[in-house]
Every structure is written in structure tokens, then in C-alpha cells.
Structure 1
Amino acid sequence: MPSGWRDVARGSAEPGDRPLLVVHGNCQAESLRVLCDQAWGEEVTCVRIPPVFELEAGDVEDFHALVRRTSYLVTQPIVDDYRDLPLGTGQITALLPDSARVAMVPVMRWSALMPTHAIVRAAGVGDPPGVPYHDLRVLASAARGEAVADLSELSAEAVRAVQEISREQLRVRQEHHGTVDALSFFEEAGADAAWTINHPQNSVLIGVAGQALDRLGLPRTVGDPGRVLLATTTAPVSAAVLEALGLTGTPRSGWRHEGDPFTEEEIAATQLAWYAEHPQVVEAGIRRHYDTLEVLGLHVGHVSTSDSSRG
């Protein structure tokens, strides 16, 4: 857990006359804070805090105290009582001083470059082995009881259909929550938009950080941080997908996770065996991503979609 924020919250480390800026959200939040700090770090104290999914019950009192001292808050939409803790966006903004300013940024997911990749949550089960992402082709193979995952390329029509789904999902999230516009930066970045479906590349993060600062009344050019952000995991991007989307760029073959390379076949075999031990993950994945599976032509039979999502 990052150090220092507790001291500021408790008043034992004073930011001097500089106002506090806090970025609250998922794994994308720290990268946005880095960019805000680069732009305003000499005049505003940009406090580094843990991502919301790492905050625990023992952190709440200090975190709330920090928020009460915050002048500028950048936050992603987080449901109230997230993980049974009062960390939701509405709960946090209610603690801010009356003079504080807030900028909402969306949870950024972009599946256009990786149309078969997904995030699946199942109760009591963590991330799959190898990389913390699922491939819907492998999930479908598991659902059909196949011994080897079918990693066939998708049709160009299917690729473009997933791009449209991803575009519409992000647009709806932005409009519903009144966030800054990340969609335009994903589209402008083309083949260089994302490392994984939920890890944007630098150009997208820079654009979003700049819009957030504008909304806070802190307009300033956000420059490149001089290092790659959010690239702990990089996902494969096939030449066929780039061609289907009409994008110019360099395909990425295989995965890289925490410095280690893996082929798609290695990850598929590892996760297919893991699905056999965790069938509830297959069920949760199919239910959540049923519409996308159908668009991709990965038919797995009929399931109830009453609680499905195109996420």
C-alpha cells in the first residue's frame, strides 16, 4: 500500500499552503494521478492513495479524513458500499469541503483491439492463471467440453461488431455518469489505444487527465510522463483485427505479464485446464458475456440472460 497518504489524512504531514488533489478509482487512477502531478505537482499536492479495491475496513477512517481535506477530487463511478465499505463516489463526494471541485472520469474499457478478451468475476474465485484476463474463445471451448481451445481468427464483421459494442458501452457510461470523454481518445489512438481491455496506453490517459484538470478548473497541458504507464500486462493484437478495423500499426504476438512472455496457446491450455476445476467461472463468464459470444459466433447454447451484460 502506498505510504504517506495516512500522514496527510491525520495532519502529521502537512502539504503546506498547497491544496490537495486526490484521484479515487481502480488501477487506472494512479496513472491519472501521476499525470496530474506532473502538470501541477509544484502547486498542488497530488496525494498517492491505494486503488479502491485495495482499501480495507481499517483504512476507511483515514481515507475519509483525507477526503475532508481535499480541494480537488478526480473519481471514477464507484457504487455505494463497494465491497461493503463506504467508498462509493456518492459517499466520498458527500464528505468534501463545500469549495471542493470534482471531475468524474469513466471506467475505461476498450475491447476493439482485443475483441475476444474479457474480465469475469465469480464468487470465491480469483483471477485465472497466467494472465488476469479471459479469452471468450477459450471460455466457449470449455463450455463445449473441448480438450483443446479453438483460437481461430474472427470474421472481420465480428471484429467490427465488437468495436461498436465497446464504443457504445463507453459512450453510455460516460453519458450516464457525466464523465469526461475518453472515447474520442481511444478512437484517435487507433492501434495504440490500449495494452489490455482495461489498461489504456499513455496517449489515452494523457487526454483523459487533461480533460479532468480542465473540469477541475486547473487547465494545463499534460505532457508525456517519460515512461510507459499501465503496461504490466500486454495482450496480443492480431494483424487480422487491425486489418478488419482499418488500422495501421504493429501487431503484438502473445502475452507479456510482469516481464514474462507467453504464447496465446500456452495461456489457453493453462486456463482451459483451470476452467475444468472451476466450472462456476465458465457459467459466470457465459452469463455476463453471452451477447458478445453470440456476436463473435462462439455459440455455447442457450442460457438465461436475465442478469447478463454486454460488459
Structure 2
Amino acid sequence: MKTASDTGETIASPAPEVISRRRHYGAFYGLDPLPQAFGLVVGNCQAESLRIVLDGPERPTLRVPPVHEMTVEDAELLHGLVAGAEFVVAQPIRDDYRGLPLGTRQLGESARRGIPVITVPSVRFAGLHPFQVAMRVPGVDEDPPIVAYHDVRTLSVAAGLPVADRLDAEGVRRIAEASVAELRRREDSIDVPVSDLLQPVAEGLMRTVNHPGNDLFLPLAARVLDKLGGGDPTDPGRPLLAAVQAPLEAWVVDAWQLDTERRAHWIVGGEPVDPDEVRDAHREWYARHPQFVTGAAERLGDLLAVWRAA
């Protein structure tokens, strides 16, 4: 058998980021031994934070990549691990997600008979950030620079639909209620509800419109553990999903009568980022992506109507 040295071919080494990723998910890729009687938490970035607070000496869990990053190899590995898991907690994922058999139903078919497969929602709540959306528009695959979030005030100007720079308390509550109503609608087919945990509104509930904080993950984990037979969630002793934190603007704090510090700036990677810097970068990005502006304005009609009425 000829080797690479026989033929003069060069076999490329894996890129450093690939090596780092596989090391990060060591047990998933077989680089580290599997814990005994492990559980799995499957979904987007929220799933990993939920896994952290579910994990404990008596219920070890396995870190797995978020489904939106999974490859064909990853999907095969995941199904094999599901077959050996003691429990699976999953966000609702449609069949053949991104062309791979990663649907919650599909994963459940790989689980052993009698093993609990518990569904939890993917949480979005705009009560603390009623100016913010996280979305994609068909045909535009990239995210805006600095932060992958859109401020409806900046977006509406790009669309030629200027809005107010802030809402009154009624407007803030209308947007919060709309996001809770959507979450309740999706909870009809989910095992563990979460929408009631969004009241009363508190700073620690959400870092951004789609990144919950510890104040939500800990009670959600307690509910999941009740389904699994009991136990207490594990406090990680650090803020979860805190790499990007949106501004907590004064008018929002006032609307909810929160006893917390107002913050006009973003926090990205632990460093403050001026909102003007984000706004200017996003204006340039919108100018280069008019298709996104048009598509987003159409999809955000109800939200923009609240802002235009302010």
C-alpha cells in the first residue's frame, strides 16, 4: 500500500481551530472517556447553559456541539450517544434540520426504550430589550458586525420608516406580552414550560433578546429535574451566556421599575462597546445589504407598528 511519502502527496493537518473544537468536545469525539450514566442536552447555545446547571456528580452530562454547528460526522456521533444516554433533554428541532437527522423526534428514535426524552423551549423574550431582534433573512447569510443583533431604531431608518427613540411603559409591556404569548403558543407541544418564569421581569432573566441568564436557567433546570425524578440544579457560580450583553436602557428600567443600574453600552467579551460604534457599523452593513433591510421590515411589521405609534 502506498503512503503519502511514497507518492509525494502532502496530507494537510487539521486546522488549529478544528483541533481546539474537538478538544473542547473531547468526550463527544471520543478523545476523553464517557462518564457513566450520562445525560445529553441538545439544541442551540441555550442548551449548553442548561446542561451546565443540570450537570452534577449524580447526573453527569456530556457537552455536545450546538445543532447549528453539527456536521454529518457529528450527527452520526450524536445518534450513537443518544442510544447510550440515561436521559435526553432537547429543544424542539424540526426533522432533517439543515439536511441532517437532528430533529427531536429523530433523536428520540435512537434513545433506548423507557429513557426520558424531555423537551424544553428555546427562549426569546423582548421585555428587557424591546428595541432588539435576532433574525436572518433568506439570501443574506452573514450577521452584522460587532454584535449579531438588530436595533429596530437603526433598521427602521435604513428602511425609510423612522421611529421614536424610546417607548413608554405601555409600549414596553406590549412588546413583552407579545413575546410571552408566542412562547406560550410554542409551549403547547413542549414538556417543560418556561413562560411564567418571565414574571416578574428582572435584569438577570435575559442578556439579550435570545440569551437567557441565570435567573431563568436555574428554575428551568429545577423543573427539568422534577421530570427526571428530583434533585437540585447546580449553580455555576458565574453568569451564563454573558459573552454578549445588550444595553439596559434607562426607559426600560423605568418601565419595569427595576432596582438595577442603567447601562447604555454593550458588553462584548467582558469589554464595554459604545452603542454609537455598533449603530454606525450596522448602518454601513444595511447599506450593503438592502435585501436584508426590505425583508426584515416586512417580517417585523407588528413590532415596528408599536415603535411607530410611540
TM-score range (shorter-chain normalised) is 0.7 to 0.9
Aligned to 1:172: 185
- CA deviation after TM superposition for structure 1 residue 298, in Å: 7.0
- CA deviation after TM superposition for structure 1 residue 198, in Å: 1.1
Aligned to 2:49: 31
Query: What percent identity do the matched residue pairs reach?
Result: 37
Q: Which of 26, 45, 54 pairs up with 2:69?
A: 54
- CA deviation after TM superposition for structure 1 residue 157, in Å: 2.2
Q: Is the 8 A contact 2:214 2:239 kept in 1?
A: yes
Q: Secondary structure in 2 aligned to 1:296?
A: helix
Q: Secondary structure in 1 aligned to 2:110?
A: coil
Aligned to 1:13: 33
Q: Is the 8 A contact 1:187 1:193 kept in 2?
A: no
- CA deviation after TM superposition for structure 1 residue 116, in Å: 1.1
- CA deviation after TM superposition for structure 1 residue 260, in Å: 3.2
- 1:53 maps to a residue whose letter is H
Aligned to 1:195: 207
Aligned to 1:241: 252
Q: Distance in 2 between matches of 1:295 and 1:228?
A: 32
- CA deviation after TM superposition for structure 1 residue 238, in Å: 1.2
Q: Distance in 1 between matches of 2:34 and 2:170?
A: 56
Q: Is the 8 A contact 1:82 1:88 kept in 2?
A: yes
Structure 1: gaps of 5 or more residues: 300-311
Is 1:229–2:240 an aligned residue pair? yes
Comparing 252-261 with 114-123, greater Cα deviation is found at 252-261
Report the count of equivalent residues.
286
Is 1:257–2:268 an aligned residue pair? yes
Q: Which of 96, 103, 106 pairs up with 1:88?
A: 103
- CA deviation after TM superposition for structure 1 residue 265, in Å: 1.8
- 1:143 maps to a residue whose letter is A
- 2:291 maps to a residue whose letter is Q
Q: 1:245/1:53 Cα in 2 relative to 1: closer, same or farther (>3 Å)?
A: same
Give the 4+ runs in structure 1 shifted more than 4 A. none
Q: Which of 151, 159, 163 pairs up with 2:172?
A: 159
- CA deviation after TM superposition for structure 1 residue 202, in Å: 0.6
Aligned to 1:293: 304
Q: Deviations over 1:214-249 (max 9, x none)?
A: 1122x1121421111100000011121122233332
Structure with higher Rg: it is: 2
- 1:238 maps to a residue whose letter is E
Comparing 110-119 with 185-194, greater Cα deviation is found at 185-194
Q: Distance in 1 between matches of 2:125 and 2:65?
A: 23
Is 1:130–2:143 an aligned residue pair? no
Cα root mean square deviation, aligned = 2.0
Q: 1:223/1:70 Cα in 2 relative to 1: closer, same or farther (>3 Å)?
A: closer
Q: 1:173/1:145 Cα in 2 relative to 1: closer, same or farther (>3 Å)?
A: closer
- 1:4 maps to a residue whose letter is A
Is 1:44–2:59 an aligned residue pair? yes
Is 1:214–2:226 an aligned residue pair? yes
Aligned to 1:307: none
Q: Deviations over 1:53-93 (max 9, x none)?
A: 11111222111111111120110011111111110111111
Q: Distance in 1 between matches of 2:73 and 2:118?
A: 27
Task: Give the TM-score of the pair, scaled to structure 1.
Answer: 0.86
- 1:127 maps to a residue whose letter is D
Q: Distance in 2 between matches of 1:209 and 1:189?
A: 19
Q: Secondary structure in 2 aligned to 1:7?
A: coil
Q: Is the 8 A contact 1:20 1:47 kept in 2?
A: yes
- 2:290 maps to a residue whose letter is P
Q: Distance in 2 between matches of 1:188 and 1:213?
A: 23
Q: Distance in 2 between matches of 1:235 and 1:20?
A: 35
Q: Deviations over 1:112-148 (max 9, x none)?
A: 01001001202342111111100111110000188xx
